[in-house]
């Protein structure tokens, strides 16, 4: 008889022992709250075209991105869910210039959540995969709590993402492996389907926006040229897969191996310009990938060592299979 699938709340309860005592209740409450919001977001995405929820609000956010109606709706839904969780003292969101402070009774054990409520929003109007990315950091009882979000990626207490694709999956880590759950739309529960995810040491697929090729660092260009150069013995050429949503590209990479890369624009070598945001895109994904046995680099070093000094700071990212990312770093070294 098939074993009863483990629910997310049961799994979180089993992970408590691996958490610092002061954060255990907060992590369980906050990730549980994010999962409940994810169920609502999944339903809303399925009805978006029927409820006039597609399209833009006609403005840009602090990063200069066009803001979609669902970006705003997703932000509000996440804020309400975090308020209700009772474990979150502040939200740093892609859709809010400053952190949103949340009065909370949990005191010093409350957490600061950095979140991209709807990642890949350029896919929304074309019914492509999108996601939610989250990172939990200690508030250290600071008031206001928002500034406690700033710092290294190694200070994250937990992180994860939700991918809204044909199915809805949630993957999270508290620094004790990475674990995947699939939403049962009938019961509204996330069930453990991918325990202890291990990313293959080497892959066959890479994901990058090749349209930016001529703005890349020379090492990045040579690395992609290498991946595209046929060499049967070395399993090359690699295949190119790029969804336009970081969550979908990282999820594929986590399960199948290979690489997801969003390098900096080096058109002006003196001022490289990255795109993805460190606190609520790059650092949480790096934590998950490392916990699955992968590697996450800027090209020059470990992403989790980067210290955020601004809420919407950007960073270059090359993540995925250990051997593939190490080779990318080698190409950067040779070209620096």
Please give the backbone phi and psi of residue 14, each rounded to the nearest 5 degrees, phi first: -75, -20
Q: How far is CA 160 from the centre of its chain?
A: 6
Minimum CB distance to ligand FBP smaller for 217 or for 275: 275
Of the candidate residues 14, 43, 60, 122, the single one contacting ligand FBP (CB under 6 A): 122
Among 95, 116, 324, 329, binds ligand FBP (CB under 6 A): 116
Q: Which is nearer to ligand FBP, 28 or 92 (CB)?
A: 92
Report the residue from 245, 259, 283, 325 that binds ligand FBP according to the rule CB under 6 A.
245
For the bound state, the minimum distance from the C-beta of residue 94 to ligand FBP, rounded and expressed in Å, comes to 6
Give the footprint of ligand FBP on residues 195-214 (CB under 6 A).
209
Residue 8's CB: how many other CB atoms inside 10 A? 22
By CB under 6 A, tell whether 121 contacts ligand FBP. Answer: yes
Residue 246 lies near ligand FBP (rule: CB under 6 A): yes
Q: How far is the CB of 269 from ligand FBP (least distance, A)?
A: 20
Residue 278's SS3 state is helix
For residues 75 and 278, give the distance between their C-alpha atoms in angstroms, rounded to a whole number.
18
Judged by beta carbon, residue 121 or residue 297, the one nearer ligand FBP is 121
**Strand intervals (E) in the chain:** 56-60, 66-68, 88-93, 100-101, 111-119, 130-138, 151-152, 158-164, 168-173, 178-184, 189-194, 205-207, 239-240, 259-262, 295-297, 307-308, 317-320
CB 87 within 8 A of CB 27: yes
**3-state SS, one letter per residue, for 111-163:** EEEEEEEEECHHHHHHCCCEEEEEEEEECCCCCCCHHHHCEEHHHCCEEEEEE
Question: 210 vs 330, which CB is nearer to ligand FBP?
Answer: 210
Tell me if 267 contacts ligand FBP by CB under 6 A. no
Residues that contact ligand FBP, how many (by CB under 6 A):
13
Using the structure block, give the residue that is written with the tokens 């529960």.
189
Residues 63-102 binding ligand FBP (CB under 6 A) are 65, 94
In the complex with ligand FBP, which residue's Cβ is closer, 210 or 225? 210
Nearer to ligand FBP, 262 or 331 (CB): 262
Chain residues binding ligand FBP by CB under 6 A are 65, 94, 116, 119-122, 209, 244-246, 262, 275
């Amino acid at each position: 008889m098939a074993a009863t699938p483990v629910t997310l709340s049961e799994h979180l309860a089993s992970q408590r022992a691996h958490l610092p005592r002061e954060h255990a209740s907060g992590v369980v409450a906050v990730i549980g709250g994010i999962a409940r919001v994810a169920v609502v977001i999944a339903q809303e995405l399925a009805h978006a075209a029927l409820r006039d929820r597609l399209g833009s609000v006609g403005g840009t956010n602090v990063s200069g991105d066009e803001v979609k109606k669902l970006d705003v709706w997703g932000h509000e839904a996440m804020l309400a869910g975090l308020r209700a969780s009772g474990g979150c003292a502040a939200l740093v969101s892609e859709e809010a210039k400053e952190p949103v402070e949340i009065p909370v009774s949990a005191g010093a054990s409350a957490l600061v959540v950095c979140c991209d409520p709807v990642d890949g929003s350029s896919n929304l109007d074309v019914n492509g995969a999108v996601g939610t990315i989250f990172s939990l950091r200690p508030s250290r009882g600071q008031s206001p709590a928002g500034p406690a979000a700033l710092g290294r990626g190694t200070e994250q207490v937990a992180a994860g993402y939700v991918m809204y694709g044909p199915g809805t999956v949630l993957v999270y880590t508290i620094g004790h492996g990475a674990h995947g759950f699939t939403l049962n739309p009938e019961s509204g529960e996330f069930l453990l389907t991918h325990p202890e995810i291990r990313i293959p040491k080497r892959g066959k697929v890479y994901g990058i926006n090749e349209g930016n090729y001529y703005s890349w660092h020379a090492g990045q260009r040579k690395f992609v040229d290498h991946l595209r150069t046929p060499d049967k013995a070395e399993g090359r050429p690699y295949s190119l897969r790029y969804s336009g949503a970081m969550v979908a590209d990282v999820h594929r990479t986590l399960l199948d191996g290979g690489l997801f890369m969003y390098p900096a624009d080096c058109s002006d070598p003196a001022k490289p310009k990255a795109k993805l945001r460190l606190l609520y895109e790059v650092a949480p994904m790096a934590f998950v990938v490392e916990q699955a046995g992968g590697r996450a680099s800027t090209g020059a070093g470990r992403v989790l060592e980067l210290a955020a000094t601004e809420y919407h700071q950007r960073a270059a990212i090359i993540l995925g299979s250990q051997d593939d990312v190490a080779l990318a770093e080698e190409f950067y070294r040779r070209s620096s």
